[in-house]
Amino acid sequence: MTAHPLDPLTADEFRAAAAVLRRDRGVDERWRFASIELREPAKDLVRTFAPGDPVRREARVTCWSRDEGTTYKALVSLTDDAVLAWDAVPGEQANMTLDEWHEAHEALIAHPDVIAALAKRGITELDLVLIDTWAYGHSLIPAEFQDRRVGWTDVWRRSTPMGNPYANPVDGLHFVVDMNTLELLRIEDDAPPVGGSPMGEYRPDLVPGLVQRSDVKALEILQPEGPSFALDGNELRWQNWSMRLGFNYREGLVIHRVGYRDGDATRPIAHRLSFAEMVVPYRDPSPDHHRRTAFDIGEWGLGFMTTSLELGCDCLGDIAYVDAVLHDSRGEPYTIGNAICLHEEDDGVLWKHVDERAGAEVRRSRRMVVSFHATVANYEYLIYWRFYQDGTIECEVRATGIMVTSSFDGEAPPTGTVVDDQTYAPFHQHFIVARMDMEIDGPENTVVVSESEAVPVSDANPYGLALVQRSRPLLTESDGKQDYDWAGQRGWKVVNRARLNRLGTPTGYKLVASASFPALVDRNSPIMARAGVIDHTLWVTPYKEEERWPAGEFCNQSRGSAGLPQWTTADRSIADTDIVLWHVFGIHHIPRPEDWPVMPVDTVSFSLKPWGFFDRNPALDVPPNPGRCH
Ligand SMILES: [Cu+2]
């Protein structure tokens, strides 16, 4: 039984979606399912849904035949057991699948030419070799392979069976592989540098001479009365907050229907929050790195990359976990246990004042954390959505894991940081695109850009102290392409101009950006053609159901221009309408020596802060810390 129309697909529903296409469209064992996901119902149906209402379920499916090669998109009615749409998408490659990644390794490691190339470098223990397939962009694919589904591989070598493969790059050796036939198309075998002897291990038993510090005492989080949140199906409620949790192959965690109870009513803030793309161009033109322009979401999928969490390690406290169900490339469901972590955290002081007569009033801040972790080959992304008692929503990303490295002889290349003996980590960038389908007090919202301006000295401003805010609404999509500007402290508010607060101003939420950086990419580069989204801090579009992927639906081998750059050429109105906010943020990663051999988390974030959404501080009613303060 489906409890709510936004609940993710169940294992049975994945099976049913695949079965309908096998029965009605001849999808046989030679096909792969790239993705199966819920087609979310229309927003007005969701808004008016009441428990017990009938629910119609539909699945979107992308699949292709390994023999014929054409990608197909299907819409399947699970309720009616029927195919509603079946469209060929010639010239596009579906996202990569984990099955292909594993199968490419198996096929290549058994190939005599691969074995010979490894032997030439003195590598004969094949069990220690990892062949790691990357997707790569269309214009970089050799002309004769352009019509194929291709992968480009790195080769890594473990020093010991449990050693870190990314500790030892097999420099200059790459395979171009047909992902459908698993045929080895080409070997790129450049003479490797002599290199040095880097130490790239991080497991304590493998780090020579490592003595773990002995002065770390136990730290336990106790919640004797249990947590303050409640999970009912996929609906999470905590203090005044409510939201629904979703999950799919591509975005991983999706948070729907975010609302805040204010008096008797729950006021909507966002219809849907997720990460819609992550683009990671490596900024090193050397043959070992020039094809590295990963679309971690569009090519690989944050959901597919999600890993299980472990109590006491990943999350601390009174935890509730939510499992996620996804599917393999045969359409068979599988479960990622403990995929989403729900817990509360103490967050220091929320507000405080000491009065000489009345003494101190101090409240501790607590936050509700909804998180998940994805491992994308060498890298980890830890994603935290945090909801605070003062109405703030904060989204934090922590990047950790192992950096890609190469060996060098002589001078280090200027496009990386030396992190070990004759070993460098190339500069690269992680552009994350948060998709925020906002709904401040209702669907019709407007974005206002505000900047601070110093007023010149004049009779009215004799001391030059006056500072004013200049604000204007963004009316069309071309207006909505916004860049961060530190000098003016530029910021953006999503407001509902039809809903005024006690002070007579529109209710709103402000996007507080703190991790924006310029793309610093040549306009004529292939990556800019494929990922034009990285060119702005903010994009605003009117909501359209099919506009979900900011760098295009099919990023794998994409040629370019799909997604936000294309949609926004229509220059549609974005005033007083159902808008989607796309925020580009991330890490301009100039590696540090300390990022090696495993990176301490590099943390970036942004916030959505109430700005006139409430009439005053909404956290006046937070009581002193139970049992501690008075
Ligand atoms: Cu990085």
Kindly give the distance from the C-alpha atom of residue 369 to the centroid of ligand 1, in angstroms, as a whole number: 24
Q: What is the pLDDT of residues 331-356, one digit of tens each?
A: 999 999 999 999 999 999 999 999 99
| 623 DSSP assignment | P
Q: Counting Cβ atoms within 10 Å, is residue 436 exposed (0-12), middle (13-18) or buried (19+)?
A: buried
Which of 286, 250, 74, 248 minimizes the C-alpha distance to 172? 286
Kindly give the distance from the C-alpha atom of residue 287 to the centroid of ligand 1, in angstroms, as a whole number: 19
Q: What is the pLDDT of residues 522-573, one digit of tens each?
A: 999 999 999 999 999 999 999 999 999 999 999 999 988 799 999 999 999 9
Kindly give the distance from the C-alpha atom of residue 281 to the centroid of ligand 1, in angstroms, as a whole number: 10
CATH 3.10.450.40 fits 11-89, yes or no: yes
Q: What is the pLDDT of residues 472-531, one digit of tens each?
A: 999 999 999 999 999 999 999 999 999 999 999 999 999 999 999 999 999 999 999 999
The reported pTM is: 0.97
What is the predicted pLDDT for the residue at 1? 46
Place of tokens 């629910």: 55
Alpha carbons 595 and 39: distance in angstroms, whole number: 40
What is the predicted pLDDT for the residue at 449? 98
| 505 DSSP assignment | S
The residue count of the chain comes to: 630
pLDDT at 627 over 70: no
Q: How far apart are the first and last CA of the chain?
A: 48
Mean pLDDT to the nearest integer, 18-22? 98
Q: Can you say whether residue 464 is alpha, beta or left, with left for phi > 0 and alpha for psi between -120 and 50 degrees?
A: left
Which of 343, 345, 308, 302 minimizes the C-alpha distance to 323? 308
Backbone torsions φ then ψ of 529, nearest 5 degrees: -65, -35
Q: Which amino acid would we find at residue 32?
A: R
Q: What is the pLDDT of residues 597-624, one digit of tens each?
A: 999 999 999 999 999 999 999 999 999 9
Between 94 and 147, name the one with better pLDDT: 94
Q: Which CATH superfamily is domain 229-458+475-544+573-610 in?
A: Copper amine oxidase, catalytic domain (2.70.98.20)
pLDDT at 630 over 90: no
Which of 63, 56, 61, 65 minimizes the C-alpha distance to 75? 61
Q: Which one of the listed residues 171, 178, 284, 296 is annotated catalytic?
A: 296
Alpha carbons 93 and 72: distance in angstroms, whole number: 10
Q: What is the pLDDT of residues 174-197, one digit of tens each?
A: 999 999 999 999 999 999 999 999
Kindly give the distance from the C-alpha atom of residue 178 to the centroid of ligand 1, in angstroms, as a whole number: 28
Which of 376, 194, 389, 203 minimizes the C-alpha distance to 278? 376
pLDDT at 253 over 90: yes
How much of the chain, in percent, has pLDDT values that exceed 70?
Answer: 99
pLDDT at 626 over 80: no
Alpha carbons 461 and 13: distance in angstroms, whole number: 67
Which H/E stretch holds residue 109?
A: helix 98-109
Kindly give the distance from the C-alpha atom of residue 602 to the centroid of ligand 1, in angstroms, as a whole number: 8
| 427 DSSP assignment | -
Q: What is the pLDDT of residues 398-446, one digit of tens each?
A: 999 999 999 999 999 999 999 999 999 999 999 999 999 999 999 999 9
Alpha carbons 404 and 419: distance in angstroms, whole number: 11
What is the predicted pLDDT for the residue at 289? 94
* CATH number for the domain running over 98-189: 3.10.450.40
Q: Which long-range contacts (C-beta less than 8 Å, at least 24 apart) are formed by 481-487?
A: 481/535, 481/536, 481/538, 481/539, 481/568, 482/449, 482/536, 482/537, 482/538, 482/539, 482/540, 483/516, 483/518, 483/536, 483/537, 483/538, 484/513, 484/516, 484/537, 485/451
Q: How many CB atoms lie within 10 A of CB 108?
A: 22
Which residues make beta-bridge pairs with 589? 428
Residue 296 a catalytic site member = yes
Domain positions in the chain: 11-89, 98-189, 229-458+475-544+573-610
Confidence of residue 2 (pLDDT cuts 50, 70, 90): low
Mean pLDDT to the nearest integer, 314-335? 95
Kindly give the distance from the C-alpha atom of residue 455 to the centroid of ligand 1, in angstroms, as a whole number: 41
Q: Which amino acid would we find at residue 266?
A: T
Residue 483 a catalytic site member = no
Which of 166, 174, 202 minimizes the C-alpha distance to 594? 202
Radius of gyration of the chain (CA): 26
pLDDT at 265 over 90: yes
Q: Which one of the listed residues 202, 249, 260, 379 is annotated catalytic?
A: 379
* Domains 11-89 and 98-189 fall in the same CATH topology: yes
Kindly give the distance from the C-alpha atom of residue 192 to the centroid of ligand 1, in angstroms, as a whole number: 24
Mean pLDDT of the chain: 96
